[in-house]
Amino acid sequence: MCDETTLAAEEAALAKRGISRRQFAAMGAAMAIAACAEPGNGNTPTLRESTVRITTPDGYADAFFVHPARGRHPGVILWPDVGGLRDAMKAMGRRLAGAGYAVLVVNQYYRGAMAPVLESFAQWRTPEGQAKLRPLIAQVTPEGTMRDAAAYVAFLDMQRAVDPRRKIGSLGRVDKRLQPES
């Protein structure tokens, strides 16, 4: 998914369609802006957002918490992709919150760095971005993720904006190909 063979395949696919990488990036940026724009129906709730610090068994995790300003809502834990907690993930959290959820966007790399580690996903494709993330990725383990999840659920259950009678959703996944080689 995030390796040099994928980059070559993407370039070949774009060339086949007569689109340059620059044109593709411009189209992608326009679509991202449109996707993050508030729906024009006037029913979007006012949101409250903050950077929070959550105590976990492994230390203090920084995260982004966003929710409708009024009422109690189902909680959602949003696990970022390899790029980590950054503005694009915050925008996704806001979009979910606008649909009526209390969203916690976590920093899976908190054991080694506060967010943002990278400013954009494109940095992951650079040698510098990969060098920066590899040691942080190595610290993300299934056992640690389970401990973190329990701490995140406990945090959400204590928030006034979260309805503890509702289940908590979870979005995101860890791609095994991103794990460091043994």
Write out pLDDT tens, residues 125-179.
889 988 999 999 999 999 999 999 999 999 999 999 999 999 999 988 654 444 4
Say if residue 128 is in the same domain as residue 77: yes
> What is each CA distance from 153 to 18, 36, 55, in whole angstroms?
47, 26, 12
The encoded tokens of residue 160 equal 């006034």
Say if residue 140 is in the same domain as residue 117: yes
Q: How many domains does the chain have?
A: 2
Amino acid at 181: E
Average pLDDT of the chain?
84
CA distance 113 to 125: 19
Say if residue 75 is in the same domain as residue 153: yes
The boundaries of the domain holding residue 69 are 45-178
How many CB atoms lie under 10 A from the CB of residue 90? 21
Q: Identify which has the larger pLDDT, 24 or 72.
A: 72
CA distance 147 to 110: 13
Say if residue 29 is in the same domain as residue 6: yes
Say if residue 150 is in the same domain as residue 82: yes
Q: What is the DSSP letter of 168?
A: -
The position carrying tokens 């950054």 is 86
The encoded tokens of residue 48 equal 């409250």
CATH of residue 174's domain is 3.40.50.1820
Say if residue 76 is in the same domain as residue 121: yes
Query: Is 0.85 surpassed by the pTM of this model?
Result: no
Say if residue 52 is in the same domain as residue 24: no
Band (19; pLDDT cuts 50, 70, 90): confident
Say if residue 21 is in the same domain as residue 67: no
